[in-house]
Amino acid sequence: MKIKFEGLNCPNCAKKLEAQLNKIDGIESAKIDFFKGTIEFESKSEKKALKEVVKTAKLFEPNIKISTANDGKKDNTKFIIDCSLLALGIVLGLVSIFAPLAPWAYWTMLFASAILMGYTTYYKAGRLLLKGVINENLLVTISVFGAIAIGEHFEGLMVIALYQIGKVLEGLAVSKSKKSIEALTNFKPEFAVLLSGDKEVKVSPKQIKIGDVIIVRPGERVSVDGIVESGSASLDLQSLTGESLPVAVKEENEVLSGSIVLDGVLKIKATKKYEESTVNTIINLIETASEKKSKTETFISKITKWYTLGVIVLSVLVFGIVMLATKNFDTAIYRGLIFLVVSCPCAFAISVPLSYFSGLGNASKNGILIKGSNYLDACAKLNIIAFDKTGTITTGEFEIEKIESLKEEYSENDIIYLSSLGEQYSLHPLAKSIIKENKKELVEVANVKEIAGEGVYFTFKNKEYFVGRKSDNLQGTVVELFENEIKIGQITLKDKIKDNSEVTCKNLKKLNIKTVMLSGDNKDVASSVANEVGIDESYGELLPQDKYDWIKQKIENPNNVVGYVGDGLNDAPSLMLASVGFCMGIKGNSASIEASDIVIANDNITKIPLAIDISKYTRKIVWQNIILSAIIKVTFLTLGAIGVTGMLAAVIADVGVTVMAILNSLRALNYKSKK
């Protein structure tokens, strides 16, 4: 049975839930796909098992919504209600703190505010505590009611308000990211035309077997990997390699599923089933990369369980020691309360996320959209950044590098003009670059014939011309011009390098970050571009899974924190797998934008070292807050326990360190980077 879920926004929680589901009697092979939002399990009694699944899921996330896989409607009612209650709670809290009210009205509004804002947190804390789990929910619950109990009402309400707002934003971000899989609909081949004898039968790609022959016409996608049996054509491989230049194929050439036939008709013999083909492999990588991706946990999340438990144990211990020493119950309670006041983690719970929010806000002002504090934290630790070439280091637009005339009577301008006469009838991307260079007025020519994968034949002034490529031994991107079957010239083109690519690499080296280029283009071109912009290493002729495997190998070393920069749909698996994925916001594919962790809004890659610099500064602020708060708290915990300081000093210490940490956090918002 397969069911859908919404509202569970924590990958680690999903893994824990999966483990619990597999422990339920009567349920076999329970599996959670966090990315797709589905739970799949087997049971002899599905109705009974479904109730147990829902019950167990509610333990991990009370707001989770379970529905059948066929229910395509998304119900936002629960989310709207929760947000409305949170807003109402904030309003009541402000009224209770600042409005002159009778005592009964004050306390009613105060507790109503605390309950409305955090009822889900308190519920989870209680349910998980019964299971022996102490986590951030219990930490926040104790913080809120502990602060209220000792008179710090505003501080208690502020903690739960900020915590719940953060959870709402986190849920929205995760929900939006999950939609990235929907952008792959156009990438999947919807059908295959199977040749059965003399008949053509339209079937699902999954029905194609190895050895079957399919026919693919212009505008159609190749459904399975195979070998060309007959025909020739130009293929658009941009979805697979990210390269904008079409690739010519003919008999005996290998073709990959997902590529689009631009011209010509191909008969292809399948060499793989759809499940094993390139297009399905890429989609599977996208779906599973989020599960394999290492997420950086914040310090607070790591210590929550032990901090909370330690505070409770130590406060009871202080009460017991003072009680034994003084034999005075009131004094023991008083000092125990002092311990709780000072140890209240408000400074951590407020200032640490505020530091990250400030860093995120600073980045946003600079056109750097970071999708969460964990990515900002990971960005500060990067030591390797891998770049895609086309659309990232280069513009994806070709420019003429060199024009060669092989006959004295023809100038370079003549070579361009004659080539343009034929290219004006072509839709090939290189044709536009050549025509753009031409300065003469073009006229009509006769006997125009374009051969897919070769070029254009035409007649001009009683001479036969061909513009395209016939030679196999030429390096780089070269267009040849023939007159009466004699080569008279050639034009070398190159993908234009972005003006800011070189300075970006220099700034990354100043940050001690190694740079690498992973390209689908040929090795010589990739190496040439890398050398020109100052990239340390380059690899060419890579498919998406090759880039994915390279990153996977690197991140297996715990000393490597790898960033990947890309913009195409083919980059989505690598963007998701990398420690931090950077995507271009203007030219970036929608699926890659969703799959990435950081989006560069204006496609200016100089923003990448800027993002790293802001991240490093923000992380420094975070650790300043943690260390400052810890020192002050430990000092006053000790003084309070031995009776040197009283409740007033405890409150001042707690509130004071919180205010100092908050003010320090705001420095990250106004930081001016030199990168």
Report residue 148 as tokens. 């209220």
Residue 653 has pLDDT above 60, yes or no: yes
- Range(s) within the chain of domains with CATH label 2.70.150.10: 192-289
Question: Tokens 């030679």 map to which residue?
Answer: 471
Question: Tokens 């200032």 map to which residue?
Answer: 351
Measure the CA–CA gap between 332 and 202, rounded to whole angstroms: 82
For position 293, what pLDDT does the model report? 38
Q: Which of 48-62, 153-167, 251-265, 291-305 has the lowest mean pLDDT?
A: 291-305
Give 12 or 95, the one with higher predicted confidence.
95
Q: Which fold would CATH assign to domain 395-497?
A: Calcium-transporting ATPase, cytoplasmic domain N (3.40.1110)
Question: Tokens 């230049």 map to which residue?
Answer: 245
Distance, CA of 581 to chain centre = 6
Q: Above pLDDT 70, what percent of the chain? A: 81
- Range(s) within the chain of domains with CATH label 3.30.70.100: 2-75
Measure the CA–CA gap between 139 and 150, rounded to whole angstroms: 16
Average pLDDT of 3-30?
75
Average pLDDT of 623-631?
84
Question: Tokens 């070709």 map to which residue?
Answer: 398
Q: Which of 140-149, 282-291, 389-398 has the lowest mean pLDDT?
A: 282-291
Check if the beta carbon of residue 142 is closer than 8 Å to that of residue 308.
yes
For position 289, what pLDDT does the model report? 44
Give 520 or 611, the one with higher predicted confidence.
611
CB atoms under 10 Å from CB of 11, counted, come to 16
Average pLDDT of 580-608?
80
Q: Which fold would CATH assign to domain 2-75?
A: Alpha-Beta Plaits (3.30.70)
User: In what side-by-side order are the strands of the sheet with 213-216?
Assistant: 199-203, 192-196, 213-216, 266-270, 226-230, 254-255
The reported pTM is: 0.58
Angle 445-448-453 from CA coordinates, rounded to 5°: 135
Residue 379 one-letter amino acid: C
Average pLDDT of 625-639?
82
For position 153, what pLDDT does the model report? 80
- Range(s) within the chain of domains with CATH label 3.40.50.1000: 368-394+498-611
- Range(s) within the chain of domains with CATH label 3.40.1110.10: 395-497
- Where does the pLDDT of residue 290 fall: very low under 50, low under 70, confident under 90, or very high at 90 and above? very low
Residue ranges of alpha helices (H) inside 179-277 are 238-241
Residue 22 has pLDDT above 60, yes or no: yes
Backbone angles phi, psi at 204, to 5 degrees: -75, 145
For position 177, what pLDDT does the model report? 43
Q: Which of 40-44, 251-255, 420-424, 584-588 has the lowest mean pLDDT?
A: 584-588
Give the best-scoring range by mean pLDDT among 209-213, 358-362, 642-646: 209-213
Residue 450's DSSP bridge partners are 456
Report residue 35 as tokens. 């990315």
- To the nearest whole number, what is the mean pLDDT of the chain? 81
Decide which of 1.20.1260.10, 3.40.50.1000, 2.60.40.10, 3.30.230.70 is the CATH code for 368-394+498-611.
3.40.50.1000
Q: Which residues are catalytic?
A: 388
Residue 171 has pLDDT above 70, yes or no: no
The CATH classification number of 192-289 equals 2.70.150.10
What does the pLDDT look like over 428-481, one tens digit per residue? 778 989 999 998 999 999 999 988 778 999 999 999 999 998 887 777 789 999
- Where does the pLDDT of residue 15 fall: very low under 50, low under 70, confident under 90, or very high at 90 and above? low
